[in-house]
């Protein structure tokens, strides 16, 4: 069973491990420490298997970052985290996604997100563009 809970500082080692296994240019420990209050962890049988960051500003929300441990992908954990996040009291949602990350784009599109713009060379590791996606609820 998957549960989603507010992240705490003690979760950082597991979050960082998932981050490092998931991204070629991972967020730093300092980045996570500075925004831990915006993060939630997905747990399976008490083990952290994913995380999602959501920042609320009045009635708008920004999905900051999300990852699932590679060993637990394909089990619907991303969907669970998205459903959890989309219950926040926001009328407008934003996120950035790599132009080449088709799987993530399909996930976001399945919840109604639409591409509204492109940020050229947004990702520093390979100069890949970011697609800016928006959802109005």
Would the CA dihedral through 5, 10, 12, 13 be positive or negative? negative
Structural domains in the chain, sorted by start: 2-136 (3.40.630.30)
Mean pLDDT across the chain: 96
Dihedral of CA 19/84/132/107: which sign?
Answer: positive
Predicted local distance difference test score (pLDDT) of residue 78? 96
| pLDDT value for 124 | 83
What pTM did the predictor assign?
Answer: 0.94
User: Could you confirm whether 109 is annotated as catalytic?
Assistant: no
**Residue 123 a catalytic site member:** no
* Residues 58-85, mean pLDDT to the nearest whole number: 97
The residue annotated as part of the active site, out of 17, 40, 60, 96, is: 96
Q: pLDDT digit string (tens) for 83-116?
A: 999 999 999 999 999 999 999 999 999 999 999 9
Buried b (16+ CB within 10 A) or exposed e, 81-111: bbebbbeeebeebbbbbbbeeeebbebbeee
Strand partners, 123: 128
Q: Which residue in 17, 20, 60, 108 is the catalytic one?
A: 108
Q: Look at 71 and 25; give whichever has higher pLDDT.
A: 71
Asked whether the predicted pLDDT for residue 37 surpasses 90, the reply is yes
């Amino acid at each position: 069973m998957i549960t989603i809970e507010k992240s705490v500082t003690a979760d950082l080692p597991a979050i960082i491990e998932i981050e490092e296994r998931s991204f070629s240019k991972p967020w730093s420990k300092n980045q996570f420490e500075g925004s831990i209050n915006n993060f939630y962890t997905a747990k399976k049988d008490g083990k952290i298997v994913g995380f999602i960051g959501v920042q609320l500003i009045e009635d708008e929300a920004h999905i900051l970052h999300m990852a699932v441990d590679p060993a637990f992908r394909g089990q619907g954990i991303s969907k669970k985290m998205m459903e959890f996040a989309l219950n926040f009291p926001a009328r407008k949602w934003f996120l950035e996604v790599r132009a080449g990350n088709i799987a993530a784009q399909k996930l976001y599109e399945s919840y109604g997100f639409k591409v509204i713009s492109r940020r050229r060379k947004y990702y520093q590791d390979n100069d890949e563009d970011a697609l800016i996606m928006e959802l109005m609820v």
